[in-house]
Amino acid sequence: MSGLRYLDNVVTLQLDAAKCTGCGMCATVCPHAVLALEDRRARIVRRDACIECGACARNCPVAALSVKAGVGCASAIIHGWLTGSEPSCDCQGSC
């Protein structure tokens, strides 16, 4: 993704290293190599590349990861603001 970087210091990704068992699933599923295994423990190595898809948290068997995953489309977010609900692609009937 050379040349393509989004905003810094904004993502909600959290890792509770004490819970980690070092299975490496989070590093496998991350599409942006945000997580890596170091000394058999997961570590966040590229936090600002995180897109908050939630794959790591969903696949962590010990719930060591948390992230506020969601839809990153502007009109969905506005729809969410207006209706007070979570943003969803469904507002336009397509995604």
Partner 1 sequence: MYGTLPTPAGAVPRLAAGLTMVDRLGHWQMRWGFGRMRYRVRPGLYAVGEPQAASPVLVTANYKMTVDLLRRELAATNAWLLVLDTRGVNVWCAAGKGTFGTAEIIRQVTACRLAELVGHRTLVLPQLGAPGVAAHEVLKGCGFRVIYGPVRAADLPAFLAAGMQATPAMRRVTFTLGERLVLTPVELTAMWKSLGWGSLLLLLIGGIGPRFFTVEAALQRGPAAIAAGLAGVLAGAVVVPVLLPWLPGRMFAVKGAVAGLAVALAGTTLYGARLGGIDSAALLLALPAVAAWCAMNFTGATTFTSPSGVEREMRRTLPVQAAALLAAGTLWIAGAFLP
**71 is a site residue for partner 1 (CB under 8 A):** yes
**84 is a site residue for partner 1 (CB under 8 A):** no
* Interface pattern 28-67 for partner 1 (x via CB under 8 A): xxxxxx---------------xxxxxxx--xx-x------
CB of 62 to partner 1, least distance (A): 9
Helix (H) or strand (E) holding 28, with range, is helix 25-29
Q: Other CB atoms closer than 10 Å to residue 6's CB: what's the count? A: 12
CB of 54 to partner 1, least distance (A): 5
> Which runs of E-coded beta strand occur in the chain?
14-15, 35-38, 41-44, 65-66
